[in-house]
Structure 1
C-alpha cells in the first residue's frame, strides 16, 4: 500500500506583491474615510428642524433650503436675509414646482427662529389654499384665500394703515430710522409703542391670479382691482424703510410689473413655466434644474451662514415640518403638530401681536361710542354734530359723520338691508349729543318704523292751521305732508342767508337763532310715489335750504335702492338736491341691475353693512351700529 502525501500548493508569485498588499490594506482599513469632493445630488427636502440644527439666530435671517456649493465641496443650510437690498423676495416657477412649499417653509422657519413680537405674517393665498393650516401660528396675523374678498380688502387696508402710521411717526421724529423705531416701540411714552406689529412679511402666493380681476365679484366697482394692485405696489416701494417685506410666489416673471420688480431684491427660480420667461442671461442655468424635481431651485442672490455670496447655485427647498422627516410625504398631517410645537415654544412671551380683526357683522351702538371722542351738550357745534354711527373697514375706527360740514345724510338699500336702523342710530347720536333746545326734528314716517327714534321733547311743535286742523311734525301720510310742507318752509324762511354777509357772520349764522332742524325721512320712495310732483317732491319747499350750509337744516333720508339711479341722475326733489349738494351717503344691499353704471356698486351685503361715500374722501365699507 502506497501512502500519498498531500503537498502544499506552489507559492502564488503575486501573493506578496505590492498590489496584493494594497488590496489587503484597503480591505482591513478602519481609519477615517477618504475625502469625497462631490456630494450626492439634492433630491429630497430637509425638514426645518434639521435646517436649524446648529443654527445661530440672526434677526431676519430665515433658513429655508439646502444649497449645493461645488466649489466648497459642501451642502449647507441656505437662509433668506430680509434686510438691505434683499428686503423683499419673489419665487417663480411652473405649477407644482414648489413655490407654496417655499412660502410654507419661510413661515415655519421664521416662526421657529423669531418671537411672535419680532416677526409677523400677513398672507393672501391665491394658489392652493395651503397657507391656511399655518394661520394658527401666533406669528400669522391673517390668511385670506381668493374667495374671501372682504378679508383680502381688509388685509390690504390694514397693511396700508400700518405703513401710513409708521411713515408718519418716522417723519414726525426727525432722525428716526427703522432700527430706532423698533427700539422706541418698547418706550411707552413714544408714539411708536402704539404699533402692535414689528417686521411684517406680506406673502402673496399665486401672484398671477391676484393680478387678474376674475376673482372679484361681478358687481365690483370700476377701478377696484387697480386700487388693490396700487396698494401692493405702494407697500413694495415703501416697505424697506418701514419694516414691511414682500414675499411673492408667481408662475411667470412677466406677471411682475416693473414698478414692483424693482423693489424685489431677491429672486429665486424654480423649474420655469416657460424657459423664455427667465431672461437670456438665466436660460442656461435654469435649464440645469432637473425636470420633475419639486423644490429644486436657483438663487440669484443671497448669503450663506458663512457670509459668502452665492449666485445661481442649486437649492432644495426645505420641508415645512418639525418631526425630523426629510420628506414632503404626509406633510398636510403634520401642520397641526407644527403649529402646536411652535405655540408651545413661545407660550411664555409677555406680548403677542394681535390677529387681524374683521369688520364685525353685528355692532352695538355702545361698541362705537366707547371708541369715539365724547361730546357734551356744552361743547361747540362741530363736536356735538360729529356723529359716531358705525365702524370703518379700513381702520376699524368709528365712522363719524360730520354733519356740520356736510349737513345731509342719504341712505339707500333694499328691504331689510338696514336703512331704517341707520336712521334710528343717527337720531340716537344726535339726541345723545344735543339738548332739545339745540335740535328739533320733523319726521316723515309713512310705515311707522321710526316710532321711538326721536323722543317727544326733541320733536318740533305742531301748528294749528287757519281751518282749525293741526299740522303735525310727525308726518304719517301724504295728506299730512301736504299740510305740513308749507309750514316747514315758513319755519326755515328766516334762515335764508342775506346778501353781503361776512365770513365771520356766516360762521356764526348771526341772522338767525334757534335750534338745528333735522328732517328725518324713512322710505323716500313712498313719498315720491304718493306726492303730486313725484320725483320733484319737496324741492320747492326745501331746495334752497338743502343747498345752504348756514341754514341749520339737515336732510336725513332713506330710500329703496331701486330708485337710486333715477333720483341721483335727475337731481330732482329734496333727495336729488341733497345728492347734488354732496353729503354722507350709505349704500346698503341691493341688486346690481338697480344701478347701471359702475361708479356706485350695488351689491348684496349683509344687514347693516354699507358702502360709505363722501366727496373728497376715500370710499370705505362700513358696518352701522344697531340699537338694542
Structure 2
C-alpha cells in the first residue's frame, strides 16, 4: 500500500518590511523614549541623598545642612525628574504640608525629619514633635535628634513642649544680644567653629502633625505658636505644620509657612495653587502638586527599597553612628516638690510657692508688692499646704515684734503652725473670728494714709510703726455668709494692704465658688487682681477668673491667675505636710 503524500507546509505571508524589521531589531542602542513612565515607585530618602552626592550615610559635616531632598518632581516636557527639595535656610524655614485623608502627610513629615537627621548631627538640629495624626511620627521617637514627642491625650507634655520652645526663643534673643550675634547664620558659623559649646541647641524644629487639633482642642497654644513662627527664624527655631486643609491654618500663620507641599486634597477647591490642576493629582499617597503645576511624589523614609524596609532602619543606622549627646529632653513639672528644693530669699516677705510650668523656675510671691493671696480647691487638693508654706515663711523671717498672725482655722489644720509669741489670735468659729477681725480693724485703721501723708512717706511707709499683720484663713466657705462673713470689718483695709502692712491669705473650698464670687470680700479681692491659686476644682464651676476654667488636677498642682495669663504650678510640699503624707 502506498504511503500518503505529506501535507504541504503552511505558507507564511511575511512582508518585506517585516523581514527588514526583524533583521535590524537588535542592531544598535534603543531609541530614546519621548515620554518617561508615570511616577510610580517612590524613591527612598537615602536614595535621594546619594543622588545629591552623599557617598555614605549619615552624611554629617561641620556645618548644618538645611536644604534636603524629600521627593521627585515630574517634568515630562523636559523629559526630566528633578529632586523635590525643602530649603529651610532663610525665609523658607517654616513648612506646611497640606493634604486630604491618607494623602501621605505624616510620611512626608517623617521623610523630612529623617533627611535632616541623616545630614545633621543631634547637636546641629533637634526636633520636638506634637503627633496629633495617626501615630506615624512615633517611628522617629528614638532618634537622638528628637527631644520629645507626644500625642493629643498628653496635654501636659504638649503644653510643656510649646512652653519650652517659647522659653528657648526668649533665651536666644537675650543670648544673641549678649554675644553680639547679628544673625542666625553667624550663630551657626561660630558654633560650628567651636564657640558656644555650652549651648545644647542648634536649629530647632517644632513639628505639629494635625494643626486642626490645635485649632479645636488647644486654642490656648495658638498665640505662643504664632509668636514662634513670627520671631523664630531669626533665632533658628522652625515650625513644621501638617493639616488636611489650608483653611485650617489662619492667615496670620499661613503667610509665614513659605515652604509648602500640597498633596492630594480632599476637595480640590481648597487648593492654594490651582483648583483645576489639583483635581488631576491621583489618589496615591505621596502624590502632590508644586507651585509650578508639576506633579511630585514624596520619598519614603527608608534606607533601602523593598517591602520590609521601614523608618526603623534609618533610626538604627543613625544610633549606631552617633555616640554624642542627644537632643535636650522636654522637662516636665515634678509630681512632688519638697520645699527644701526651692531657693529661699535672705529676708523679707518673698516666698517661693513652687515651680511654674513655662520656664520651670520658682514661682515667687512677694507680699510687700502683692499683699494678699486667694486659694481655691477641693478637699485634699493642697490648700492647707499652701497656708503652711506661708506660716513657715513668717516664722523663719520675722520676729514677734516684726510680724503678728491671726489664724482662723475651722478644721484645726494650722493649730501649731504659728508659735504663741507671734500668734495674735486663733479662732475656729465664725463668731470668734468676727470679734478678732473687729479688733484687727481697730488696730489697722490708724495706719490708713490721710491727706497729710506725703508721697515720700507713702513710698517708705514711714507714717506708722508696728508689726506686719497676717490674717490667715482656712476653709473660709465654712465661715462666710451672704453678708460678707467675719471679714466684713476689714473690707476698708483690703485695698491698702501693701501700704499699711496688712496681708490676707484666704483659702476656701471649690464647691459653689462661682456663686460665692459675688460675696463682698471675695469680690473686692478679685477686682483688685489678687493673685489666685486654683487647685483641683470641678469643671462644673464654669469660668472663674477671666477665661480660666477649673480643671481636675493632682494634689499640689494648681493654676495661678493674676493680671497675666494663667500658668500651671507644682506647689512646694511643706515638711509637715510631707511627714503627714508619709505617716498615711
TM range (shorter): 0.7 to 0.9
**Residue matched to 2:206:** 202
What are the ranges of 5 or more consecutive residues in structure 2 without an aligned counterpart?
1-13, 579-584
TM-score between both structures, scaled by the size of structure 2: 0.85
SS in 2 for 1:360: coil
Indicate whether 1:567 and 2:571 are aligned: no
SS in 1 for 2:508: strand
Alignment of 1:372-451 (within 5 A): 374-377=344-347, 384-451=348-415
1:86-119 deviation digits (Å, cap 9, x = unpaired): 2222122210011111011111222222111211
Alignment of 1:207-246 (within 5 A): 207-211=211-215, 213=216, 215=217, 225=219, 227-246=220-239
SS in 2 for 1:579: helix
Q: What is the distance in 1 between the residues matched to 2:105 and 2:38?
A: 20
Q: Is the 8 A contact 1:547 1:577 kept in 2?
A: no
Aligned-residue offset at 1:582: 2.9
Q: Is the 8 A contact 1:492 1:545 kept in 2?
A: no
Aligned-residue offset at 1:175: 6.4
1:517 aligns with one of 466, 469, 472? 469
Q: What is the distance in 1 between the residues matched to 2:445 and 2:91?
A: 67
**Residue matched to 2:478:** 526
Q: What is the distance in 1 between the residues matched to 2:392 and 2:155?
A: 32
SS in 2 for 1:203: strand
1:429-485 deviation digits (Å, cap 9, x = unpaired): 44444455533322222212124433555x235xxxxxxxxxxx2333345435533
**Residue matched to 1:618:** 565
What are the ranges of 5 or more consecutive residues in structure 1 without an aligned counterpart?
1-13, 217-224, 301-310, 378-383, 462-472
Q: What is the distance in 2 between the residues matched to 1:385 and 1:181?
A: 42
1:495-520 deviation digits (Å, cap 9, x = unpaired): 33343212221222112333322122
Cα distance change on mapping 1:325 and 1:427 into 2, 3 Å: farther
**Residue matched to 1:285:** 277
Q: Is the 8 A contact 1:410 1:558 kept in 2?
A: yes
SS in 2 for 1:549: helix
Cα distance change on mapping 1:426 and 1:139 into 2, 3 Å: farther
1:289-344 deviation digits (Å, cap 9, x = unpaired): 22x311112222xxxxxxxxxx433322111233x1245xx67xx45554333223
Q: Which segment is superposed worse, 232-241 or 88-97?
A: 232-241
Cα RMSD for the two superposed structures: 3.2
1:142-175 deviation digits (Å, cap 9, x = unpaired): 2232233323322222222222333344456666
Q: What is the distance in 1 between the residues matched to 2:395 and 2:414?
A: 14
1:139 aligns with one of 140, 145, 160? 145
Alignment of 1:567-606 (within 5 A): 567-572=516-521, 575-595=522-542, 599-606=547-554
Q: Is the 8 A contact 2:378 2:511 kept in 1?
A: yes
Q: Is the 8 A contact 2:102 2:285 kept in 1?
A: yes
TM-score between both structures, scaled by the size of structure 1: 0.79
Cα distance change on mapping 1:237 and 1:545 into 2, 3 Å: closer
Q: What is the distance in 2 between the residues matched to 1:503 and 1:62?
A: 65
Q: What is the distance in 2 between the residues matched to 1:278 and 1:357?
A: 39
SS in 2 for 1:268: strand
Q: Is the 8 A contact 1:63 1:77 kept in 2?
A: yes
Q: What is the distance in 1 between the residues matched to 2:281 and 2:483?
A: 73
Q: Is the 8 A contact 1:269 1:298 kept in 2?
A: yes
**Residue matched to 2:39:** 42
Q: What is the distance in 2 between the residues matched to 1:61 and 1:182?
A: 15
Aligned-residue offset at 1:35: 4.7
Q: What is the distance in 1 between the residues matched to 2:427 and 2:354?
A: 28
**Residue matched to 1:321:** 302
Aligned-residue offset at 1:422: 1.4
**Residue matched to 2:427:** 475
Q: How many residues align?
A: 554
SS in 2 for 1:143: strand
Q: Is the 8 A contact 1:44 1:326 kept in 2?
A: no
Aligned-residue offset at 1:22: 7.7
Q: Is the 8 A contact 1:543 1:577 kept in 2?
A: no
Cα distance change on mapping 1:92 and 1:189 into 2, 3 Å: closer
Q: Is the 8 A contact 1:319 1:326 kept in 2?
A: no
Aligned-residue offset at 1:493: 4.2
Cα distance change on mapping 1:389 and 1:608 into 2, 3 Å: same
2:555 aligns with one of 598, 607, 610? 607
Q: What is the distance in 1 between the residues matched to 2:134 and 2:294?
A: 28
Aligned-residue offset at 1:26: 4.9
SS in 1 for 2:526: helix
SS in 2 for 1:538: helix
Indicate whether 1:507 and 2:513 are aligned: no
1:200-235 deviation digits (Å, cap 9, x = unpaired): 222222223332x2x35xxxxxxxx2x433333222
Q: What is the distance in 2 between the residues matched to 1:186 and 1:409?
A: 49
